[in-house]
A and B are shown apart, each in its own frame.
Chain A
Amino acid sequence: MMEWMSTIAAISPMRAWGIDVPNYFWFTGSSAAAFIISSFAHVFGFKQFKPIAGFSLLLAFVLLVAAPFNLIDDLKQPGRLVNFFLYGWENFGTSPMKWGVLLLIAYPVLILVEALILYRPYFIKRMEEGRGFSRTFYRWLTLGRASLDAQSLEKDHRLGFTLGAVGIPLALCVHGYTGYILGAVHANTLWHTPLMPVLFLASAMVSGTGLLLVLLPIFQRFFSLSQAIDRSMMATLAKLLAWFIVIDLVVRALWLSFAMPFGMQSRELLYQFFSLHFNMVVYVEYGLCLILPMIVGFSKLRHNLGIVIATGVISAVGVWLFRWNTVIGGQEIPRSMPGFTQYIPEIFGQNSIVSVASNWGIFIALLALVAVIFPWDEEMETHYQGVNNGSK
């Protein structure tokens, strides 16, 4: 129909967001998921998640502290970070990016306080055993409450519950707002759907659980007191992962089954987009990274440790790819010229493969630091002993 028309000249528009942005979204999402899994025990009282609740909470904290470095790296004027806090508040209602000012401060502070309360008895112990600097340091971490009587433990419990309960909507917001950032852009065919925050949350639960399936065995095997991997916990998490995948698939099905046949002007472009990325989306993102882990989680395979760890890796990677295909893919779609653009990240420099790798470096370093400061291993051990004693 349009064959008789061709472009002689048009300009390639500049696109703003590179590899840092999908990485940022992946980090905040996985953090929200880790927090929610920890709240299973703290708020909803699911006893079987008790042993990993503390570890998962710390993981949520570290992921969220590492995440914003991606954003800063993506800025063209990172030195003007303060402007984000000082000006432009009149756009608060219409610029989801602005919500980040409040969320990215409130959420990590909340997790930190919750973790400090959870580990308070251990800090007190270390404070009493320690001397000099270490004593002072652990005194700070107790937030000045050094009593261990029944009343203050009860208070800890209540505070932990409240913070966990407040934290759930906050965790949902911290990741949901990133979905809003994209969903609010009506100029972008792929992004502009009210389902975007839900899509992001659903897939975040998948990546967060996947990450736990990778980190938990490493930490339990090499750094915990008993040096033993809790295989039944791994199987439980694998099944949880499978349920999260079911939710994710349902939301994605809703999204695509609406946008593709019923979307207005976007329909044609979405067909183009998905045929361009057919192999990646269908075979890799859906088949390999969602359906396969779901089969593992619902079948006996979930008792095989090696397979479960591999499942964790691929489901976490799959969600990263989904973030990539959404953030980068959305920007590939033409709006003022014919033809799709293609993004190839730089290797070095700002917004490059190396900067994302460095961000992972920051994440690992922070995780190690937090794991050294917080006695997650002792705390985890008490739950296992509790379980053993109970069953005897």
Chain B
Amino acid sequence: MPNDPSRRRFLKQGGIAALAGATSAQAFSLKNPGRDAQDPRYIGDAKAHYAMVIDLRQCVGCQACTAACKVENAVPKEQYRTFVSEFEIGTFPHVRKGYVPQLCNHCDNPSCVSVCPTGATFKRKDGIVVVDSEICWGCGYCLNACPYDKRYFNAQTKVADKCTFCAHRLQDGLLPSCVETCVGGARIFGDQNDPNSEVSKMLATFPTSVLKPHQGNAPQVFYISLDSRLEAVHEATPMLDDVVRKELGLLDKEWPKLPRGVS
């Protein structure tokens, strides 16, 4: 009812709130409204600096992480925040397999963040790179800027999406879901600022490497025992097989892969 006094009061208050919102600093922000408001989800744990170590000596390529991540984060069909690439090395009978689990590297110098024209993608104080799904306008600049191809447009939310190191679980004192599920214990997660954390100890004990160091992104996902030849395959010729893709077909119909042998 238009004359309902409570409704009128509501409209009036709403109008004032909207006006205040429009003229407050948040309506025109250097960053984005969530960061201006110091929302804990946007700031994270200011004392920590999170990192992951992936011990490839332990990885058996079971894809449990892939599955756990999809369930935990409701990642849409045929999209992935983490995935284990699988390779075959050598010729029969002298063959072995190689695995490279991959996820967003939560780079210390993230090229996805610097190019974002809306401030939707940003780095929290604890080093986790996140996307504000309310702000992102879906321009895709970050997808092109990530040297690791670790971003995609979420088919349901229609905004840029990627691994968050399970920030929502960290908040509750839990580990990222891929870490918790890893059968070989290949994924180790923790705070680099804490010298007693398992991650710090691993980093102090073993030599590690990161993917594509020449990009200058300073990834915070470190690999133990990474065979550099495996990484080279990523940027290699179109001649290599991809059995799974051939079997299952293509993921994004606008961008199918060239058939084998075309080079």
- Chain A residues with CB under 8 Å of chain B are 2, 4-18, 71, 74-78, 80-81, 83-84, 86-91, 94-98, 100-101, 181, 184-188, 264-265, 268-269, 272, 275-276, 331, 334-346
Select the stretch in B51-59, B142-150, B185-193, B197-205 that faces chain A: B142-150
The answer to whether A6 touches B240, judged by C-beta atoms less than 8 angstroms apart, is yes
* B11-38 interface code vs A (CB 8 A; 1 in, 0 out): 0000000000000000111111100000
The answer to whether A14 touches B152, judged by C-beta atoms less than 8 angstroms apart, is yes
Q: B232 within 8 Å of A by Cβ?
A: yes
Interface residues of B in 223-263 (CB under 8 A from A): 229-230, 232-245, 250-258, 262-263
Q: 13 A-B pairs, CB-CB below 8 angstroms?
A: A6-B88, A10-B85, A10-B234, A11-B251, A16-B140, A76-B138, A87-B120, A90-B30, A95-B116, A100-B117, A275-B263, A336-B148, A338-B240
State A359–B146 Cα separation when bound (angstroms): 30
The answer to whether A337 touches B137, judged by C-beta atoms less than 8 angstroms apart, is no
Q: B184 within 8 Å of A by Cβ?
A: no
The answer to whether A185 touches B251, judged by C-beta atoms less than 8 angstroms apart, is no
The answer to whether B241 touches A7, judged by C-beta atoms less than 8 angstroms apart, is yes
Q: B170 within 8 Å of A by Cβ?
A: no
- Chain B residues with CB under 8 Å of chain A are 27-33, 79-80, 83-91, 97, 102, 111, 113-120, 135-141, 143-153, 158-159, 214-216, 229-230, 232-245, 250-258, 262-263
Known: A83-B120, A275-B263, A336-B149. A12 touches B257 (CB 8 A): yes
State A90–B28 Cα separation when bound (angstroms): 11
Residues of chain B contacted by A269 (CB below 8 angstroms)? 235
Q: Which residue of A lies closest to B95 (CB)?
A: A4
State A88–B135 Cα separation when bound (angstroms): 10
The answer to whether A77 touches B237, judged by C-beta atoms less than 8 angstroms apart, is no
The answer to whether A10 touches B117, judged by C-beta atoms less than 8 angstroms apart, is no
Q: Which residue of A lies closest to B27 (CB)?
A: A86
Q: Which residue of B lies closest to A334 (CB)?
A: B235
Known: A17-B144, A97-B115, A340-B257. A87 touches B263 (CB 8 A): no
Closest beta carbon of chain A to B82's beta carbon, Å: 10
Q: Contacting B88 at CB < 8 Å: which of A8, A15, A88, A96?
A: A8
State A16–B254 Cα separation when bound (angstroms): 10
Residues of chain B contacted by A339 (CB below 8 angstroms)? 237-238, 240, 242, 257-258
Known: A8-B88, A340-B257. A90 touches B31 (CB 8 A): yes
Closest beta carbon of chain A to B1's beta carbon, Å: 31
Known: A187-B215, A276-B263. A91 touches B117 (CB 8 A): yes
State A186–B251 Cα separation when bound (angstroms): 25
State A334–B117 Cα separation when bound (angstroms): 25
The answer to whether B214 touches A265, judged by C-beta atoms less than 8 angstroms apart, is yes
Q: Which residue of B lies closest to A19 (CB)?
A: B254
Closest beta carbon of chain A to B183's beta carbon, Å: 18
State A2–B88 Cα separation when bound (angstroms): 11
Closest beta carbon of chain B to A6's beta carbon, Å: 5
Q: Contacting A343 at CB < 8 Å: which of B85, B230, B255?
A: B255
Closest beta carbon of chain A to B225's beta carbon, Å: 17
Closest beta carbon of chain A to B114's beta carbon, Å: 4
Q: Which residue of B lies closest to A181 (CB)?
A: B141
Residues of chain A contacted by B91 (CB below 8 angstroms)? 4
Q: Which residue of B lies closest to A346 (CB)?
A: B254
The answer to whether B236 touches A338, judged by C-beta atoms less than 8 angstroms apart, is yes
Query: Told that A9-B86, A10-B86, A88-B31 touch, could you supply 18 new A-B pairs with CB distance under 8 A?
Result: A5-B233, A7-B241, A9-B242, A14-B251, A15-B143, A71-B139, A76-B158, A80-B118, A83-B137, A88-B135, A90-B119, A95-B141, A96-B115, A97-B115, A335-B234, A339-B240, A341-B257, A342-B258
Closest beta carbon of chain B to A138's beta carbon, Å: 37
State A345–B252 Cα separation when bound (angstroms): 12
Residues of chain A contacted by B88 (CB below 8 angstroms)? 5-8
Residues of chain B contacted by A335 (CB below 8 angstroms)? 147-149, 234-235
State A174–B111 Cα separation when bound (angstroms): 23
Q: Contacting A83 at CB < 8 Å: which of B135, B243, B255?
A: B135
State A339–B135 Cα separation when bound (angstroms): 34
State A334–B141 Cα separation when bound (angstroms): 17
Residues of chain B contacted by A276 (CB below 8 angstroms)? 238, 258, 262-263
- Greatest chain A CB density within 10 A among B117, B239, B244 is at B117
Known: A11-B251, A76-B158. A91 touches B240 (CB 8 A): no
Q: Which residue of B lies closest to A94 (CB)?
A: B114
